[in-house]
Amino acid sequence: MGRFILIVLDSVGVGALPDAADFGDEKANTLQHVYDYAGGLRLPNLQTLGFFNIDGLKLPKADYPKASYGRCAEISRAKDTITGHFEISGLIIEKPYQIFIDGFPHRIIDKFESAIGRKTIGNYLSSGTEIIQVLGDEHVLTGSPIVYVSADSLMQIAMHEEVIPIENQYRICQTAREILMGDDLVARVICRPFIGGNGRYTRTENRKDFAIDPPDKTVLNLLEENGKDVIAVGKIEDIFNRSGITKINHSKNNNEGIIATINYLKQDFDGLLFTNLVDFDMLFGHRNNAKGYGEALEYFDSCLPEILALMRDDDVMVITADHGCDPTIKGTDHTREYIPLLVVGEKLRKGINLGTRNSFNDIAASIADYFGFLWPNGISFLGELNTKTKHSLGRID
């Protein structure tokens, strides 16, 4: 029975990619800048594992890292959550999904309003926490959903839970999902419920993502089709639209996600445990809250000893990200960055610098390799770590 644990620290990028200037992100380095902003972070467990040893980071390095480390470049020409996770799972998105940074055209908004029987307001680039303060009172008065956009491929729709009941909100967003297909395909429609009144509004944790099916089979499908468990924690089920997933715990924040991960590690399973910890991105990166971002990293680090203690001799764990979201630079959108690669396993070599990987696909190739399968995209790094687990063929394809 083999267990591969994959933890995505959502948006914890480790430096601008060579093409970051094309996205306006040439100055981005999420981890470095959050660390610098705080004047240092207390991350003793990540540091001991070798997280700070990743190329390009100017952070206090471990002399004898207890894990191996590296960073992955993104082949797909995007910086959104869906594309990042799809590439981690073994796909390459050749054509980026549509981005409507100037707002959705009338033909889309008119069709959407006709389908839901309501007018909409907003439809411009904004931070979600800001737009509900600006348009919240009008929404409460009229019942018109607040539509807003970002530099990523998505439509976000904010609605008050006491004005439009949550299930109705989800139906409205599902309608938008059905409209934004074909030539107008966006990666996600996100329902952003909020509460409050009189110009003071707060988002709730009843967010729901309406994603698209992966365009091809992922390593999740490979495992599921071969009788393996694929356990999704956090928004993984939404990102993959439940494709290739056998068990779900839809945790709503980092604390719930970490608890769910720990609880699954106390159980027997044969397959992949795939966790997304969303708070780094949702609560801190997009809100330019570098202080909160650093505190969230410190909290995760404080939970690491319990996670590590529950790993079995043959287990392999990868800690990574899906993109950046540097809270210290101008703008509130994702940033085009390398993602970290931290590989932990009792039977793996320690302290190996895995360098800069050419694609996020290497993670999928390594997951497949661990369970004795081939994956067509990417290069497994398990062979470089001379793994001795009975589950891995240890090859580099």
CATH of the domain at 279: 3.40.720.10
- What's the domain count of the chain? 2
Q: What pLDDT, on a 0 to 100 scale, did the predictor assign at position 389? A: 46
Given a cut of 90, whether residue 56 has pLDDT beyond it is yes
Q: Are residues 204 and 226 in the same domain?
A: no
**358 and 259 together in one domain:** yes
Is residue 187 in a domain? yes
pLDDT, mean of residues 64-93: 96
**Does any domain span residue 78?**
yes
For residue 99, the tally of other CB atoms under 10 A from its CB is 16
50/197 same-domain check: no
14 in a domain, yes or no? yes
Q: Which of 152, 179, 210 is the last residue of a domain?
A: 210
Q: Please tell me whether residues 366 and 274 are part of one structural domain.
A: yes
Q: Which domain holds residue 172?
A: 106-210
Shared-domain flag, residues 279 and 323: yes
How many beta carbons lie within 10 A of that of residue 92, not counting itself?
Answer: 18
173 lies in the same domain as 318: no
pLDDT at 151: 81
**Same domain for 199 and 132?**
yes
Whether the per-residue pLDDT at 51 is higher than 60: the answer is: yes
Pair (219, 360) in one structural domain: yes
Q: Is pLDDT above 80 for 392?
A: no
For residue 304, count other CB atoms closer than 10 A to its CB. Answer: 20
pLDDT bucket at 208, cuts 50 / 70 / 90: very high
Question: Taking residues 89-117, what's their average pLDDT?
Answer: 96
Q: Domain boundary at 161, 178, 210, which?
A: 210
Quote the pTM value: 0.91
Above 70 in pLDDT, residue 154? yes
Residue 387 has pLDDT above 70, yes or no: no
Q: What is the DSSP letter of 145?
A: P
**Alpha-carbon span 155 to 82, nearest angstrom:** 13
CA nearest to 237, candidates 251, 227, 256: 251
Report the pLDDT value the prediction gives residue 150, as an integer from 0 to 100: 87
Please give the Cα distance from 14 to 325 (Å, whole number): 10
Q: Is 67 helix (H, G, I), strand (E, B) or coil?
A: coil
Mean of pLDDT values over 361-384:
97
What's the mean pLDDT in 229-251? 96
Whether residues 332 and 244 share a domain: the answer is yes
pLDDT of residue 390: 43
The Cα–Cα gap between 150 and 99 comes to: 8
Task: Give yes or no for residue 397 having a pLDDT over 70.
Answer: no
Could you tell me the two tokens for 156?
């976000």
Residues 6+ positions from 64 with CB-CB distance below 8 Å: 350, 351
Give the pLDDT of residue 111.
98
The pLDDT value given to residue 386: 76
Q: How confident is the model at residue 393 (pLDDT cuts 50, 70, 90)?
A: very low
Number of residues that make up the chain:
397
pLDDT value at 395 more than 70: no
Q: 326 and 221, same structural domain? A: yes
Measured CA distances, 387 to 131, 191, 347, 348, 363 (Å): 50, 43, 6, 5, 15
Both 16 and 87 in one domain: the answer is yes
Average pLDDT, the chain: 95
Does the pLDDT of residue 336 top 70, yes or no? Answer: yes
Q: Could you give the 3-state DSSP secondary structure of residue 79?
A: coil
Contact 317, 275 (CB under 8 A): no
Indicate which CATH number applies to the domain containing 111: 3.30.70.1250
Same domain for 65 and 113: no
Residue 260 falls inside a structural domain: yes
- Any domain includes 149: yes
Region 244-254: what's the mean pLDDT?
96
Domain edge (last residue) among 210, 232, 255: 210
Does a structural domain hold residue 113? yes
Domain membership flag for residue 396: no
pLDDT digits (tens, 9 = 90+) for 167-194: 999 999 999 999 999 999 999 999 999 9
Q: What pLDDT is attached to residue 388?
A: 53
28 located within any domain: yes
Provide the pLDDT for residue 394. Answer: 36
Cα–Cα distance, 152 to 285 (Å, whole number): 14
8: left (phi over 0), alpha (psi -120 to 50) or beta: beta
Mean pLDDT value of segment 190-210: 95
How far is it, in rounded angstroms, from Cα 268 to Cα 278? 26
Average pLDDT over residues 18-46: 97
Taking only the tens place, the pLDDT of each residue in 300-327 is 999 999 999 999 999 999 999 999 999 9
